[in-house]
Structures are given as C-alpha cells and as structure tokens.
Amino acid sequence: MLVLGIESSCDETGAAVVRADGAVLSDIVHSQVRLHAAFGGVVPELASRDHAKNVVPVVREALAVAGVELGSIDAVAVTHRPGLVGALLVGVQVAKGLAWAADKPLVGVDHLMGHLLAIFLRRGDAPAPMPQFPFVALLASGGHTAIYRVDEAHADSVRELGATRDDAAGEAFDKTAKMLGLGYPGGPVVDRLARLGDPNAFKLLAPMAHGSTLEMSFSGIKTQVAELVRTRGPFSEAQIADICASFQRAVTSVLAKKLVMAAVSEGVAHVVIGGGVAANSELRARVSALAESHGITAHAPSLASCTDNAAMIAYAGACRFARGERDGWDLLATSQSVLVKSTRKGRGRR
C-alpha cells in the first residue's frame, strides 16, 4: 500500500510517498526558514502564501522521486490539525483536489499523531529497532511539549500523562537564541554552541525539576535568561556558549527525567522522543543514558523524522487507512488536536 502524505501545518511544505510498513520512498520538504528569519519567528500570512506557491511542485517532486504516478497511490493523507489554520487550509485543499481527481480515498491526519508515530519510519536500507506497544513518548517541539502513553497506533489509544503548563520547550530554545542574538530558528544553534560551553558557568534553575508531577513549565527559564541578558550583558562568544550550555542542560535534564519517570510509573519498557526538539543531541544522549539505567529501551527517530515532514503524515495516514478510516470532502482544517488534554494551563495548585 502506498500513501501520499502532504504537510503544511506551519512553515514546512512537505510531500512524501510512504509504504504501509513505514518505508519512505520519497520525502520532499520546502523550508521557509529564510522567509521568516528576518521576523524572528513564523508569520502566518507569509507562511500560507508560500505554501500555496510551493505545494504543487513539492508534490510533483515527491511522486517523481518515488517513481510512481498519482494513479498508483492508494490514499492521500494530509495534516488537517493542529497548526496554523491558513497554512493547513492550503494542504487540505490540495489533498482534496488530488484525491478527487484521482478517485482516491482522503485521510486526515493529526500532526501530533504524525510525530508520535515517526519512530516507525524506515529511511534507507538499514532497519532501525522499533519500539513495542505500549510505549511512553515525549513530544517536544516549538508548539507542543507533552508526555503520552501510546498503546496502539491510533488517537483513541493515546493518553496524555503530562504537558507544559505554558510555553513549549522548542519555543524556549527559539526565544533564548533570539535574546542572545543567535537568529532563528534557535534550537540548532543553541545545541551547537552548548557543546562548546560550560554548563556550570551560569546558574539556571531547571524548571519544575522536583516532585512527582509530569507537568512542565518553560516560561520561567526564559525569564532567567532575559534577566541574565539585562543585568550582565553584553556577552563574549565564550559566555554565550556557556549560557547555551547552562540553558540546554536545565531543559533537557527535566525532559529526560520526566519521560523516564513516566515510563517507570506506567510500567512500560520502551520510551520514544519525537518532534523538533528530539533532534537535540544532549536530549538524545540524556534520554538514552537515563532510560538504560532503569532497564528501559530508548528510541529516537532519525533527524529527518524529527522536524515537520510529510513522511510521518503519510505513515500515520496509512495506519488510519488500514483500520478502514477515511474522510469526506467536508474535512476541515483546525487548530485543535484530536488528542485529549489533561494538563491545565497556568500556574497554581492542581
């Protein structure tokens, strides 16, 4: 079974052809990083226009690289939630047009489910070890940070165990980079500089590191960095690297600790990380080491499967399609995920 996936939830225009077993035949991504870099973040209207300009060429390239015609596709999967509604609309409308023209089933996919199942993508010839259900997953990106128990590959079998009360971890990386004058996106450059710095040079308190709660918060550590910049800046290159190292250690230590703590609490033998922050080298190392110390197997997707991509959407769509699920022409774009939230936003006792 071949599924064409289309992704346009934020600032990446993606199209991919994936087999039902997770084998990626093509995965084309058009990035808008340069477009939004001047603004220090994604501008929704610009994102929508750029998706509209590039989505058709990206789909054509995905089909060409996979060596298949549209008529050979068994289903068309598309991200329709959550995300920037204007950006989602572009992908949804194109997917509807392709599915209608080729008389193929249309399958809507929740973007978060794509990230949770991205670990099952097979890129290249070398087979990677796959997690067994159930597993506990950390989904950490610029817009979402939560820990889930995943019992099967569909949304009804996913349960939130804890999430951020305020900002996402990836957003904290981006804002920290912006405050230090490192540009956008911030995650990769903070990761690179952190390897050169001393994490003990600046004292940054790890957010919500103590206690048994699986909830998180990343607004406070941004405030700590802002206060450093206000009271002790400007900084030398070495000092900026030290701040990056201190910041990254504080964030990744909390993420790793809570993920493994959740797995131990649930009695689960496998943990998975996903989302853009899952590409962070220190997070990958921390999760692997901490999980191993508890007799738990850790799984991290390839770097290409961490950031927004259409291959994960095609695979998640294939899982829905294999269960007999499909959508009609009334499929809507929405900013709300199908996954049920249990973490209340804001401070205070729970």
Q: In the 3-class helix/strand/coil scheme, how is 145-170 assigned residue by residue?
A: EEEEEECCCCHHHEEEEEEECCCCHH
User: Which residue type does 136 have?
Assistant: V
Asked, for residue 162, whether it belongs to a domain, the answer is yes
Q: Residue 127: what pLDDT?
A: 66
Query: What is the domain-level CATH number for residue 58?
Result: 3.30.420.40
Site of tokens 């950006």 = 87
Same domain, 102 and 183: no
> Residue 341 falls within a domain, yes or no?
no
Specify if 247 maps to a domain. yes
Asked if residue 146 and residue 283 are part of one domain, the reply reads yes
Which pair of structure tokens corresponds to residue 15?
Answer: 């199209």
Same domain for 58 and 147? no
Sequence-distant (6+) residues with CB within 8 A of 147 are 136, 137, 138, 139, 160, 161, 162, 163, 214, 258, 259, 262
Looking at the structure, tell me whether residues 183 and 283 fall in a common domain. yes
- Write out residues in the chain with pLDDT < 50, as ranges: none
Q: pLDDT tens across 35-46, in order?
A: 888 888 889 999
User: What was the pLDDT predicted at 63?
Assistant: 98
* 216-267 tens-digit pLDDT: 999 999 999 999 999 998 999 999 999 999 999 999 999 999 999 999 999 9
Q: What is the pLDDT of residue 33?
A: 83
What's the structural domain count of the chain? 2
* Claim to verify: residue 206 and residue 243 sit in the same structural domain: yes
Domain that holds residue 168: 135-301
Tokens of 146: 């939560």
- Alpha helices (H) along 267-309: 281-293, 303-306
In a domain, 267, yes or no: yes
> Domain check: are 147 and 274 in the same one?
yes
Regarding whether 287 and 173 lie in a shared domain, the answer is yes
- What's the confidence (pLDDT) of residue 250? 97
172 lies in the same domain as 265:
yes
Same domain, 290 and 144: yes
pLDDT of res. 349: 62
Same domain, 80 and 196: no
The answer to whether residues 182 and 238 belong to one domain is: yes
- Would you say residue 100 lies in a domain? yes
Give the chain's length.
350
Written as one letter, the residue type at 33 is V
Has residue 210 been placed in a domain?
yes
In a domain, 88, yes or no: yes
Q: Let me know: does 302 contact 284? Beta carbons within 8 Å.
A: no
Task: For residue 100, count other CB atoms closer than 10 A to its CB.
Answer: 12
Residues 169 and 184 reside in one and the same domain? yes
Q: What is the model's pLDDT at position 34?
A: 85
Residue 345 lies in a domain: no
